[in-house]
Amino acid sequence: MTSRISAAPPTSPIWFRALVWLAPLALIVTAWIPEDGAGRPLPLGGSVFLTLLGVGLAALFAQVPRRLSYTLTDTGLRVGRFSGTFEWPYRDLRVRRTGGGLGLKVGGVGLPGYHTGNYTFTGPEYRNVQAIASNTRGGVIVERSGTAYYLTPADPDAFARALAARGVPVLD
């Protein structure tokens, strides 16, 4: 039986969301501002290119968080992210509730509602984690082959119980 687990809704600060959306907007607007002293904008091809690049970035920023998903299948935990979907067998997993959260991004993606890659961790259990999360707080750790993955289901306790019901050991 497959059951899809909702990711927690993003809680990024408004200033961070505005900063992220400023990048594509700046590309679009600056493409049509006249060059200094010349009184004319970039050649039409350059303006169109930068405009399309800005629109493409905006579309990417809007689509990326929607690709994050967690699904409990008959055989394992299926994790979906923008770059693809993979499944971990339950026998390879351990789960831990944590009060810690993501710290600094070491490598990966950090957009409002979408955090993937290597991050430092603020909890006492780990120094760093691999994030596949919608938030920086309120998640669970799923360990696989010695690597700690930080996931943020909408209901972390229910998620941990569902994994435990499928035979995944729960760590203290």
CB distance 140 to 118 below 8 Å? no
pLDDT value, residue 35: 66
Q: Could you please report the per-residue DSSP string of 100-139?
A: --EEEEEEEEEETTEEEEEEEE-SSS-SEEEEEES-SSS-
What averages of pLDDT result for each successive group of 10 residues across the chain (172 residues)? 73 72 80 65 72 78 73 93 87 94 91 89 93 92 96 94 95 84
Phi and psi at residue 4, to the nearest 5°: -85, 130
pLDDT value, residue 65: 59
CB distance 50 to 30 below 8 Å? yes
pTM equals 0.75
